[in-house]
Amino acid sequence: MRKIYKMAGLTCLGLILASQSINAQTQVIIANGGQFESTAPFADRATVGSYDMTSKTFTVFDTIHVESINGTVIDNEHAYVGAFDTLVKYDIDNYTRLTTTHVDKIKNVYLSGNMLFTSLFNGAGAPLMKSLNKTTLATEFSFNDLEENIGGVAVLNDSIYIASNVPGTVDAFPPFGIFTDTLGVISVFNANTGAFSRKIQLGTDGAGVNDLIAYNNNIHAVCKETGNVIEYNTTTGATIATNVGASGLDDNYSNILIIETATGVDKYDMDTRTMLNQGFTISAIAEVYDNINDEYYFTQSDFASYGKTFIHDINGTALDSFDVNISPQGIAIDYRTPVGMNNLETTVDQEFSIYPNPAKENISLSLRNSINTLQVIDVAGRILISKNNLSHGVHTIRINELNEGIYFVRTSNENEIKVKRLIIQ
């Protein structure tokens, strides 16, 4: 059954504000590395394109004169693409290149808090992680107190947490110098000055620590050598390791990590520390999760002749696919539009109400009927609060950790979704 979408109780001003947020473009940015070639002349170069979710068309809008992609992230109307030794900033409303900078041996690109980071491969020389100005791409901080095999980064409060590893001494693929990670380490820096603060030793449980997520005043570390997700309490310093067979992190939203395993992808609930068995077996180059429609986008290629992106639901059922360029190594969803919510009705509806609105610390949600899910979503489409299986009556939701601004409260049951605007002061 097709779901019905309603936008309830908006004033004229509210309709204008909501339309600015909800009627923005809906797209997936895909960066392609091209054919894998080691010597010139090169048959092709890296390309960047946009998949329009409405028209279901993929269009290339830029070429970068390198042969690989190393990270693709979106920040509102801007996309940042790392491509070997080049970092490019795009305006993805009009598909123009805004700024380009040279960064030697880019490993990945990250957005955390309000900061942009690039990690670098071993051999690039210290530092192996930099923070960059999001407007100019100039280096703001260089982080030197790190181990090798650099991983991801997370910003929480006034601290920057960076994952790295102590490698072993046995070359796994001689003579190439590839060493298995044996000890995981998180280095902590001051977010205002970039100064080194301390190191968090994860030990052998944290070997292969590669991805960090800040959630509920904790840092969650995904460790690909041990398969652990480690929860580090930033207040007490306590750690809890849960083995879920993790080999990487594909995406995250609200309290959910999209975990890559040896056989595919699945959801991990950070609140309960359990896998939700809402994934499927895939083989992919890059993956991203549409947390509004519960769909996975993942790419495949033979790195020589074709590139393709597939769309599956959470059970692995194929929904659609489309051709892209060779080696689609970077993928990110533009969340300024909550996906699938372009045609909201603007009728007044009294089946749920929010008060006070505007609000500061808490909101009360009055439900005429029970609902399956409640979500508080920001204008970028990110789910910040999520509650399940709420009965009819009044429920109190704490919002004191959210910044001032405009949000959307979304309720859903099996065949209907309703959305109301919330202002936090």
Sheet containing strand 393-398, edge to edge, reads: 352-355, 362-367, 393-398
408 touches 6 (CB < 8 A): no
Mean pLDDT of the chain: 85
Tell me the whole-structure pTM to 2 decimals: 0.76
Neighbours of 370 (CB within 10 A): 11
- Report pLDDT digits (tens) over 48-105: 999 998 889 999 999 999 989 999 999 989 999 999 999 999 999 999 999 999 998 9
In this structure, which amino acid lies at residue 23?
Answer: N
- Report pLDDT digits (tens) over 94-152: 999 999 999 989 999 999 988 999 999 876 567 899 999 999 999 999 999 898 889 99
pLDDT of residue 298 exceeding 90: yes
| Measured distance CA(342)–CA(345) in Å, rounded | 9
> Residue 38 CA to chain centroid, in angstroms?
31
Lowest mean pLDDT among 86-95, 170-179, 329-338, 344-353: 344-353
Band (424; pLDDT cuts 50, 70, 90): confident
Structure tokens that stand for 114 in this block: 């309000």
Q: Say what the pLDDT of residue 231 is.
A: 98
Q: Say what the pLDDT of residue 219 is.
A: 97
In this structure, which amino acid lies at residue 320?
Answer: D
Topology of 111-243 in CATH? Answer: Lipocalin (2.40.128)
**Could you tell me the residue ranges of all domains in the chain?**
1-24+338-425, 25-102+273-335, 111-243
CATH number of 1-24+338-425: 2.60.40.3080
Q: Say what the pLDDT of residue 343 is.
A: 41
Name every residue whose Cβ is closer than 8 Å to that of residue 421 and which is 6 or more positions away in sequence: 7, 9, 10, 14, 17, 18, 406, 407, 408, 409
The more confident residue out of 384 and 24 is 384
